[in-house]
Structure 1
Amino acid sequence: MKKIAVVAANGKAGKLIVKEAIDRGMDVTAFVRGENQTVAEKAVVRDIMDLTAEDLAGFDVVVDAFGAWTPETLPQHSTTLAHLCDCVAGTDVRLLVVGGAGSLYVNPEHTACVADGPDFPDAFKPLAAAMAKALEELRARDDVAWTYISPAGDFQAEGERTGAYILGGEELTLNEAGESVISYADYAIAMVDEIESGDHIRQRISVVRK
């Protein structure tokens, strides 16, 4: 049985990842800042920056479901991810990151990203930039078995769980309907599939509804 730690588990993505993993028989511990709002029976109440290597030792996989949205907290995408990397560096513990879509490439040369496009909302550009910076810093870590999973462009918190998705890579992938969309529930399926397979170590992958 795989032992999974989900950090920032009380978030919308975190709660669904916890549930998906438990439903598949995994041993899940939710790491939260306040009262545990997940279905996990095991919970550790601690700020992400207070976690230590000892806290995360013994897990097979750590899922980073952290999110920050306000201008003053956006830099925490980098600081929290770097801290988690330091906690698992040089170990066999895998680190899976709930990523963003803004940094997905839109050309084969990988010189233009979704966030560079004229239709990308200005309101989301600071968030996309902060998450892209954290990803670039993660790419430099050769001491961590990380996997970064970007959702589709339209990431729907209340979307339905279809159970079907297309696995993509570094480039924005569209489904047969020409859409880039996925629900949080289907994203959680893809995340737990990657937890089970471990097929994309030190890679960024992406998912879109089939």
Structure 2
Amino acid sequence: MKIGIIGANGNAGKLILAEAVKRKHEVTAIVRDRSKVAESVDVIEKDIFDLQTEELAAFDVVVDAFGEWQNVLLHQTTLKHLADQLSGHHHTRLLVVGSAGSLYIDEAKSSRVIDDPNMPAEFKALATSMAKAFDALKIRTDVNWTYASPATLFVVDAPLTNRFTIVSNDRLTFNENGENTIGYADFAVAVVDEIETGDFIGKRFSVIAD
């Protein structure tokens, strides 16, 4: 498959890229600075807002692994830009590396992780912006989208285990140890699995360690 990965030099993006390359997909890194791409792959060196329909629609899947901690509003504006550019181009899937903040924490699905008063303030602004971005995306029928939520504890340097569970109910879910956690390496495997299977078109899934 032809896969374009936006933010391919970030913590999640570079592992998704490496996993896709390992599985022999035709991968292109989409970054602002090509010198930061470690893998030997094709590169599109552009700001995300400069990406146009003809570039994005050339891929079977576009992975949005854009990351930004300071100007959190960018998570909304960049995702809207990508969705607008892919509007009506249903042959290209937009797979978004998202947040756990919009997962529901109750059976009635009335409260989300971002509504928890105990959520650390340093994460709340980012998670809230990403939740708003997802809210805007999930009502669109003109875009072939998938949203991948990591666990609330997303561990950069956790070793690859290949032991994880895919959750499809939009709720914060815990493993048998009472944990909601996933390593970046295992999350990358789950994302590429979904690229290949297409089980969650027009849906969100989350990933937790077993």
How many residues align structurally? Answer: 207
Match of 2:198 in 1: 198
Q: Within 5 A, what are the aligned runs for 1:158-197?
A: 158-169=157-168, 170-197=170-197
Percentage of matched positions with identical amino acids = 49
Distance in 2, Cα, partners of 1:144 & 1:46: 22
* Residues 155 and 181, structure 1, Cα contact 8 Å, conserved in 2: yes
Unaligned runs of 5+ residues in structure 1 are none
- The Cα shift of 1:38 comes to 3.2
Q: Secondary structure at the match of 2:146?
A: strand
- The Cα shift of 1:120 comes to 1.2
Q: Secondary structure at the match of 1:179?
A: coil
CA RMSD of aligned residues (A): 1.0
Match of 2:69 in 1: 69
Distance in 2, Cα, partners of 1:42 & 1:36: 13
* Residues 148 and 204, structure 1, Cα contact 8 Å, conserved in 2: yes
Match of 2:129 in 1: 130
**Equivalent residue letter for 1:81:** L
**Equivalent residue letter for 1:76:** L
Match of 1:88 in 2: 86
Q: Secondary structure at the match of 1:152?
A: coil
* Residues 30 and 43, structure 2, Cα contact 8 Å, conserved in 1: yes
1:133-169 Cα deviation digits (max 9, x unpaired): 0000001211011000100110001111101210112
* Residues 157 and 184, structure 2, Cα contact 8 Å, conserved in 1: yes
Q: In terms of mean alpha carbon deviation, does 155-164 or 109-118 score higher?
A: 109-118
Q: Secondary structure at the match of 1:159?
A: coil
Match of 2:76 in 1: 78
TM-score normalized by structure 1? 0.96
Match of 1:156 in 2: 155
Match of 1:117 in 2: 116
1:53-78 Cα deviation digits (max 9, x unpaired): 111122100000011101xx111101
Unaligned runs of 5+ residues in structure 2 are none
Q: Secondary structure at the match of 1:28?
A: strand
